[in-house]
Amino acid sequence: MILKYIPLDEGMMIMDEAIVKAKKIIEGYPETKFSGEEYQRFYECVYFMCTYHSSNEKTMQLYEKFRNSLEESIFSTVLPTLVNKQGANLLREFVVIWSNYKLMARWLCRFFEYLDRFFIPQHIELESLNGISFSCFRDLVFKKLYCRLIEAALTLINQEREGQQIDCVLLKNVLDIFVEISDYKGANYYEDFERIMLTEISGYYSRLASEWLLYDSSAEYVQKVFWCLNREKQRARQYLHPDTEVKIVQVVRYHLLDQIANKLMEKRQAENSGMVTDYQEILLKCAGISLQEGSSSTSPEEWLSTLMANSAHIC
């Protein structure tokens, strides 16, 4: 390729064309495309500006232009779009914005690719173009909205737990973004969300355990525990990280079974008034069965029998 001299002002104007068109993606036109001729023109502009002179001055200005183009799009479009949104509307707009932002950034990275290939490796203190794309969104958007995103996600989860219909696909997409952004260096945002969610679940099922012990028979209590554990497992598989399912089951079991095993046994004994019943025969038969939370092959009665037979080891 024959080197071509491109004055700084002219080159910056050419790259402004690329940036303005790429920003249409984040402004709500994700179908925006660049032709092969356009791509070649913008890529070669960066290439010629970086290679014609031995000085790094123009190259550094192009590097800063890339960063500034992302920051400007965030301040002019992303934040104004999200700032007044709440609940599911916030989550929905956030998912769309993130998808469009990544597409826009991918095009810009291609146009400025020469920086990644030759300039940035020679300056180890500089972040890669992809790294800049992530860090700009993470620092200027995600961190700013993180608490509101968590609140909105937890609201949806609680609504679904109470029997309301929610958009599970939307919730999964949001939590996948938590994981995706955490995969890049920095804090693990999904783990932080998970910790808050498990704390809420602990309080929720601790309250339910107290209510059920007061008003329900032991058989009714176990039926509810059985149903809750299965529902929580189904819920986790719909939109949570696979490792989270195990943690939720442990938390629910602890508050609904392990922590109140003696009280549940006393309640059952009081209901039976010390008489030999079919239930006690089941208990003896199930004494050696390992407790499997929510197993479809284990009935609630067998579950409670095994729990009581092993209560001395649980508590």
CB contact set of 293 (below 8 Å; sequence gap of 6+): 229, 233, 249, 252, 253
The predicted-structure confidence for 147-157, as pLDDT tens digits, reads as follows: 999 999 999 99
Q: What is the pLDDT of residue 177?
A: 95
- 90 neighbors 173 (Cβ within 8 angstroms): no
- 212 neighbors 221 (Cβ within 8 angstroms): yes
Tokens linked to 232: 């929580």
Long-range contacts for 303-306 (Cβ within 8 Å, ≥24 apart)?
303/222, 303/225, 303/226, 304/218, 304/219, 304/222, 304/264, 304/268, 305/279
Q: Closest Cα to residue 303, out of 222, 198, 227, 228?
A: 222
Average pLDDT over residues 98-122: 94
- Our CA angle for 89, 92, 96, nearest 5°, is 140
* Mean of pLDDT over the chain: 84
The predicted-structure confidence for 50-85, as pLDDT tens digits, reads as follows: 887 666 788 899 999 999 999 999 999 999 999 999
Rounded CA separation 70/304 (Å): 58
Q: What is the pLDDT of residue 296?
A: 46
Query: Within a 13 Å sphere around the CA of 206, how many CA atoms are in the beta-carbon half?
Result: 8
Residue with tokens 């300039």: 119
- 145 neighbors 65 (Cβ within 8 angstroms): no
Angle between helices 87-111 and 57-73 (to 10 degrees): 160
Q: What is the DSSP letter of 56?
A: S
The predicted-structure confidence for 229-285, as pLDDT tens digits, reads as follows: 999 999 999 999 888 999 999 999 899 988 888 888 888 878 776 544 444 443 343
The predicted-structure confidence for 126-164, as pLDDT tens digits, reads as follows: 999 999 999 999 999 999 999 999 999 999 999 999 889
pTM value > 0.85? no
Rounded CA separation 4/30 (Å): 33
Rounded CA separation 127/101 (Å): 18
Task: Concatenate the DSSP letters of all residues of 81-96 into one string.
Answer: HHTT--HHHHHHHHHH
Rounded CA separation 60/26 (Å): 25
> Domains in the chain, ordered, with CATH?
1-186 (1.20.1310.10), 192-272 (1.20.58)
Rounded CA separation 199/177 (Å): 22
Indicate whether 201 pLDDT > 90: yes
